[in-house]
Chain A
Amino acid sequence: MTKSAILTDLTQCIGCEACALACKEINELPKDTPLHLLTASTWSAVEHRNGVNIRRQCMHCEEPACVSACPVAALEKTASGAVIYDAGKCMGCRYCMVACPFAVPKYEWDKSIPTIQKCILCYETALSRGAEPACTSACPTGATIFGERDALIREAQNRIAAHPDAYVNHIYGLREAGGTSVLYLSAVPFAELGFPANIMEDAYPKLTWKVLSKIPNIVSTGGVLLLGIWWIINRRIKLQDDHPSSV
């Protein structure tokens, strides 16, 4: 399976929200909620800011923070590139929401048994059958297109090279958070469009893994150390009891 991705060229987006509606359609999400904001019932949104229409969705990171954060492996980065979610495994701790640097996972705050809600790149409905996600196929202008990640990166580079004055020289998602499967081109610097500006270029899971990978060492050294201390002290006390005069 090739690693699929999405390239969204914000200069071509007319803000028609066809992608957002197509997403609701295929994922059977409630239609009565605003389309400009990612929520539990809007997995793909179009925000209008500073005169730019900004398509928002899960970034499908190459090394997702949410996947590393989930204690029960309910979130998974598939070989296809999609980060998918298994509500049956989820216990609702919301650590993925805290961990995601793009604040993508949303929650059903109005349900007594809530689940996490986010774009899964139409994994079940399209991707796993070799089809294209609903959003990109719905786009009238070709502003958001679907393809293989490397090919899309080349395409983005070509566009910037062909019209250097029409774009900022930055493919958002190429390196952000260690690289994402959703890439953006824009005429306006991304920081002005509400894209997290101080995002790390390295993958987020590495931060916690640096700590977690020390656990075996802590446990083994700590165990030996404690046992040693106990043994030494106990022995001294025993010796003291046996030969009170010699100490």
Chain B
Amino acid sequence: MKLSLPKPTFWTIVLAFIWILGIYAVFTRFYYGLGAATNLSDQFPWGIWIGFDILVGVGLAAGGFVVAATVYIFNLKTYKPIARSTILTAFLGYLLVIGALMIDLGKPYNVWHPLIMWNHHSVMFEVGWCVMLYTTVLFLEFLPVLFERFRLERPLRIIRSITVPLVIVGVLLSTLHQSSLGTLYVIVPDKLHPLWYSGLLPLYFFISAIAAGLAMVIFESYLSARAFGKELEFSLLAQLSRIIVLVLGLYLMVRVQDMSSRGALQYVFDGSQESLYFLLEVGLGVLLPIILFLTPKIRNNTAGLFLGAVFTLLGFVMHRLNVAITGMTRSAGVEYVPTWMELAVTASIVAAGIVIFRYAAKYLPIFSQEEAFGVHPPPLVSAGKSGRLAMGLLGVLLLAILIGLGFGWMQEKPVDLHLRIESAVAQPASTLELPLPIVYEMGEASPGAVTFSHENHIDPSAPQCKTCHSGIFKMRPLKAGALGSVQMDLLYEKKQCGICHNGDDAFNVEDNCEVCHVAIDE
């Protein structure tokens, strides 16, 4: 089957456009810093690169472990035809998540540090390990496809023999990983809005990932069937939809119950921005797909299934974005809206995923029902025009990161962040209050009253109080109403006022009696 795009030139141009913007954004991030490329700030350190690329990306890859478990552990071989494409999606998903992480991390070259620098109290440590291990597992699960393609029988047999343990490890890792993304937010009870915060976040992330993973299987099967003219495994997908209904129902029930026990139900209809987003999320993304999948008319045709899957995915995406962004906005005190560059990077990553999936599906035995040995593998032709463009642009993307890093390292160009900082917190004028001029009580034979003026001694924009206080002059006595005593003898010895009034830093004491001592009589 020849891969035929509706309008190859049109899509190629769109793709090229997205990637060129993406490359520019990546370059900006590594050359001028995260502040220049994103709307992230000290108040809002995580944006859509975390909220979408990572939280959503990992969740959508959940189809991989659900289907792998179904096929290999529950031994429901009927699902085998879709096993490979879901494993491929999961594998690609994780690779792209890692890609996104490399752009978001401040020091991407330290990404391996969790391997040797352990902190088992850290959720992020768990997340890091899960990503690394599960990506490896997915790679191993995907290897048979490559071995078949290149007819490597020996390794194929070895990898097949460890399938079951591999799948079990994969399922465990996924369970941990999906839930741990939710655990990340368990430590912010007073930052995340009560509509989303819960000690059960890990459970929600896990359950919703299963629903989303299954929906992804339907979504993808439908699209690939159209793109590659494959027969759609309809009965399988219809069964999946029934499981999705169960999972979503459970998810909704636990969430509502938990919200009522935490007293969060009062926020659902309070008319705030959060309540609106929450209602959209649950209404469109949980209730609607349940209704769609339960309506026989819709359930019984592929387009209906597809629609239900789309809304399930939408609900999933909204949940992750609501946790990462909507729910964190109020406590942050700033509105976070991603820049076009953040969107461009995200779009580039999604586009890369689609392109790679297409080529993998075209040249690797992904959709073959039989073990591919009997079948003639498709000839390894060159990827064609759009393929070469895709690979070229991906290469440039990598190059942009490297060049950006290199340049950025050599010269740190500051961007004007002050504006953003200033606008973040409106600041009233400084309330630096200086004491009134101090008139010293005249000592014996004092030539005249001495007045010390703080105002004449201090630059209000940088009051270096510590020059005098509390080293040369104690302040506490002043508060109590008594001045510390100043003695002329000490002044002559270049102490007290004489430290500065020495002729070098300020006028000297010896020749300027009258500047300090103002005679009061005449």
Name A's B-contacting residues (CB within 8 A).
14-18, 21-22, 33-34, 36-40, 47-49, 51, 53, 65, 67-74, 89-95, 97-99, 101, 103, 106-115, 138-142, 196, 198-200, 204-205, 207-212, 215, 218-219, 222-223, 226-227, 229-230, 233-234, 237
Contact of A226 among B168, B466, B469 (CB under 8 A): B168
Q: Which single residue of chain B is at the shortest CB-CB distance from A198?
A: B190
The smallest beta-carbon distance between B121 and chain A, in angstroms, is: 4
Q: Are A91 and B33 within 8 A (Cβ)?
A: no
The smallest beta-carbon distance between A30 and chain B, in angstroms, is: 9
Name B's A-contacting residues (CB within 8 A).
29-36, 40-43, 45-46, 69, 72-75, 105-108, 110-111, 113-114, 117-128, 164, 168, 171-172, 175-176, 179, 183-184, 186-191, 199, 202, 404-405, 407-409, 412-415, 417-418, 421-422, 424-425, 427-433, 462-466, 468-470, 475-476, 479
Q: Are A69 and B418 within 8 A (Cβ)?
A: no
* Complex Cα–Cα for A155 and B45 (A): 37
Q: Are B113 and A112 within 8 A (Cβ)?
A: no
> In the complex, what residues of B have CB within 8 A of residue A227's CB?
168
Contact of A94 among B46, B422, B431 (CB under 8 A): B46
* Complex Cα–Cα for A218 and B206 (A): 13
> In the complex, what residues of A have CB within 8 A of residue B127's CB?
71
Q: Are A92 and B126 within 8 A (Cβ)?
A: no
Q: List 20 A-B residue pairs with CB atoms under 8 Å apart, sorted by A's residue number.
A: A14-B432, A21-B464, A37-B427, A68-B187, A71-B114, A71-B119, A73-B117, A90-B107, A90-B110, A95-B122, A98-B184, A109-B35, A109-B40, A112-B32, A207-B189, A211-B179, A212-B120, A218-B176, A230-B164, A233-B75
Contact of A22 among B418, B428, B466 (CB under 8 A): B466
The smallest beta-carbon distance between B346 and chain A, in angstroms, is: 18
Q: Are A21 and B462 within 8 A (Cβ)?
A: yes
Q: Are B432 and A16 within 8 A (Cβ)?
A: yes
Q: Are A112 and B412 within 8 A (Cβ)?
A: yes
> In the complex, what residues of A have CB within 8 A of residue B108's CB?
91-92
* Complex Cα–Cα for A212 and B122 (A): 8
Q: Are A204 and B470 within 8 A (Cβ)?
A: no
* Complex Cα–Cα for A98 and B429 (A): 30
* Complex Cα–Cα for A22 and B118 (A): 35
Q: Are B36 and A111 within 8 A (Cβ)?
A: no
Q: Which single residue of chain A is at the shortest CB-CB distance from B115?
A: A72
> In the complex, what residues of A have CB within 8 A of residue B202's CB?
211
Q: Are B430 and A48 within 8 A (Cβ)?
A: yes
Q: Are B110 and A114 within 8 A (Cβ)?
A: no
Q: Are B110 and A92 within 8 A (Cβ)?
A: yes
* Complex Cα–Cα for A92 and B108 (A): 8
Q: Are A208 and B475 within 8 A (Cβ)?
A: no
Q: Are B45 and A111 within 8 A (Cβ)?
A: no
* Complex Cα–Cα for A91 and B105 (A): 6
> In the complex, what residues of A have CB within 8 A of residue B121's CB?
67-68, 205, 208-209, 212
Contact of B106 among A36, A53, A115, A233 (CB under 8 A): A115
> In the complex, what residues of B have CB within 8 A of residue A95's CB?
122-124, 184
The smallest beta-carbon distance between A163 and chain B, in angstroms, is: 13
> In the complex, what residues of B have CB within 8 A of residue A92's CB?
105-108, 110
The smallest beta-carbon distance between B426 and chain A, in angstroms, is: 10
> In the complex, what residues of B have CB within 8 A of residue A40's CB?
42
Contact of A15 among B172, B189, B432, B470 (CB under 8 A): B432
> In the complex, what residues of B have CB within 8 A of residue A17's CB?
432, 462-463
Q: Are B428 and A48 within 8 A (Cβ)?
A: yes
* Complex Cα–Cα for A65 and B428 (A): 31
Q: Are B106 and A33 within 8 A (Cβ)?
A: no
Contact of A138 among B118, B466, B475 (CB under 8 A): B466
Q: Which single residue of chain B is at the shortest CB-CB distance from A101?
A: B190
The smallest beta-carbon distance between B77 and chain A, in angstroms, is: 9
Q: Are A233 and B107 within 8 A (Cβ)?
A: no
Give the one of A37, A95, A219 with max B CB within 10 A: A95
The smallest beta-carbon distance between B109 and chain A, in angstroms, is: 8
* Complex Cα–Cα for A140 and B458 (A): 14
| Given known A17-B463, A95-B184, contact A72–B33 (CB-CB < 8 A) | no
The smallest beta-carbon distance between B57 and chain A, in angstroms, is: 16
Q: Are A109 and B33 within 8 A (Cβ)?
A: yes
> In the complex, what residues of A have CB within 8 A of residue B73's CB?
226, 229-230, 233
* Complex Cα–Cα for A106 and B420 (A): 14
* Complex Cα–Cα for A82 and B172 (A): 38
Q: Which single residue of chain B is at the shortest CB-CB distance from A49?
A: B428
> In the complex, what residues of A have CB within 8 A of residue B171's CB?
222, 226
Q: Are B42 and A103 within 8 A (Cβ)?
A: yes
* Complex Cα–Cα for A89 and B116 (A): 10
| Given known A200-B190, A212-B121, A226-B73, contact A112–B405 (CB-CB < 8 A) | yes
| Given known A37-B427, A110-B32, A207-B187, contact A91–B106 (CB-CB < 8 A) | yes
* Complex Cα–Cα for A185 and B493 (A): 41
The smallest beta-carbon distance between A137 and chain B, in angstroms, is: 8
Q: Which single residue of chain A is at the shortest CB-CB distance from B35?
A: A109
| Given known A34-B427, A140-B470, A222-B175, contact A97–B409 (CB-CB < 8 A) | no
* Complex Cα–Cα for A51 and B126 (A): 46
Q: Are A140 and B122 within 8 A (Cβ)?
A: no
Q: Are B415 and A110 within 8 A (Cβ)?
A: yes
The smallest beta-carbon distance between A225 and chain B, in angstroms, is: 10
Contact of B45 among A71, A98, A215, A222 (CB under 8 A): A98
* Complex Cα–Cα for A233 and B70 (A): 12
Q: Are B45 and A94 within 8 A (Cβ)?
A: yes
Q: Which single residue of chain B is at the shortest CB-CB distance from A227?
A: B168
Contact of A37 among B176, B179, B421 (CB under 8 A): B421
Q: Which single residue of chain A is at the shortest CB-CB distance from B202?
A: A211
* Complex Cα–Cα for A139 and B190 (A): 33
The smallest beta-carbon distance between A23 and chain B, in angstroms, is: 12
> In the complex, what residues of A have CB within 8 A of residue B125's CB?
71-72
Leading 3 A-B pairs by shortest Cβ distance = A92-B106, A112-B408, A109-B35
* Complex Cα–Cα for A17 and B186 (A): 36
Q: Are A109 and B412 within 8 A (Cβ)?
A: no
The smallest beta-carbon distance between A170 and chain B, in angstroms, is: 18
Q: Which single residue of chain A is at the shortest CB-CB distance from B37?
A: A109
Q: Are B126 and A212 within 8 A (Cβ)?
A: yes
Contact of B431 among A51, A199, A219 (CB under 8 A): A51
> In the complex, what residues of A have CB within 8 A of residue B463's CB?
16-18
Q: Are A113 and B409 within 8 A (Cβ)?
A: yes
> In the complex, what residues of B have CB within 8 A of residue A106's CB?
42
> In the complex, what residues of B have CB within 8 A of residue A233's CB?
73-75
Q: Are A237 and B75 within 8 A (Cβ)?
A: yes
Q: Are A207 and B431 within 8 A (Cβ)?
A: no
* Complex Cα–Cα for A107 and B45 (A): 8
| Given known A103-B42, A111-B408, contact A211–B114 (CB-CB < 8 A) | no
* Complex Cα–Cα for A214 and B433 (A): 56
Q: Are B120 and A99 within 8 A (Cβ)?
A: no
| Given known A34-B421, A69-B187, A71-B125, contact A113–B175 (CB-CB < 8 A) | no
